[in-house]
């Protein structure tokens, strides 16, 4: 029997509602849930949950996630370069607004990220993301459900 996928969260900047949705999904599907961060976080009230606190340092949490995640696992992250590393390992990478990164769209996402980073560095754009709202929660929950269903089917 194929092992169940793990649900992992790049938790440093993850919105609290996203964590709550992940806890509910992990409970419902009896999945292992890992929250990975550079700082201690409260452990969710879930038997198969654990918090992994990595050493402070550039990309420490990202490196841990890439090492620990395997093909078919699901990782929630807003970090596009991390998502690219995960997609290369056949890991399902989804952002907190419900976008699933795939081999077909990750290159474009990286290019846009790099372009906007250059624009901000040149002072031609500001870094502002819209507040995380109810519509975002609904889109994420729906997308996570689809991704987990796909991951469970293998």
How far from the centroid of its chain's Cα atoms is residue 145's Cα?
A: 14
User: Helix, strand, coil proportions of the chain in percent (round to 5)?
Assistant: 45, 15, 40
Residues 105-139 pLDDT 10s: 988 888 777 787 777 777 777 766 788 999 999 99
Domain assignment of residue 76, yes or no: yes
Q: What integer pLDDT is reported at residue 56 of this predicted model? A: 81
| Residue 62 domain flag | yes
Q: How far apart (Å, rounded) are the C-alpha atoms in residues 15 and 69?
A: 21
Res 94: pLDDT = 98
Tokens representing residue 80 in the block: 């596009």
Query: Is 134 among the domain residues?
Result: yes
Range of the domain at 22: 7-153
Instruction: Answer yes or no: is 75 within a domain.
Output: yes
Phi, psi of 104 (to 5 degrees): -75, -25
**What's the pLDDT at 109?**
81
Supply the pLDDT for residue 129. 76
Does the pLDDT at position 59 exceed 70? yes
Query: Does residue 81 form part of some domain?
Result: yes
Task: Supply the DSSP string of 57-84, one letter for each residue.
Answer: STTHHHHHHHHH--TT-EEE-S-HHHHH
Which structure tokens are listed for 114?
Answer: 């790099």
Answer yes or no: is 1 within a domain: no
Quote the number of domains for the chain.
1
Tell me the C-alpha distance between 49 and 7, whole Å.
9
Average pLDDT score, the chain: 92
- Residue 26 sits in a domain whose CATH number is 3.40.50
Residue 92, in any domain of the structure: yes
Domain assignment present for 2: no
């Amino acid at each position: 029997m194929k092992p169940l996928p793990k649900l992992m969260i790049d938790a440093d900047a993850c919105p609290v509602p996203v964590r709550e949705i992940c806890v509910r999904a992990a409970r419902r599907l009896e999945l292992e849930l890992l929250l990975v961060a550079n700082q201690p976080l409260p452990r969710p009230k879930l038997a198969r949950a654990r918090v992994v606190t990595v050493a402070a340092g550039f990309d420490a949490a990202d490196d841990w996630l890439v090492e620990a995640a395997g093909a078919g696992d699901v990782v929630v992250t807003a970090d596009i370069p991390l998502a690219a590393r995960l997609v290369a390992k056949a890991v399902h990478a989804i952002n907190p607004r419900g976008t699933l990164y795939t081999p077909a769209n990750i290159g474009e996402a990286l290019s846009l990220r790099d372009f906007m980073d250059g624009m901000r560095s040149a002072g031609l754009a500001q870094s502002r993301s819209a507040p995380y709202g109810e519509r975002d929660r609904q889109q994420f929950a729906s997308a996570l459900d689809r991704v987990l269903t796909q991951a469970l089917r293998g």
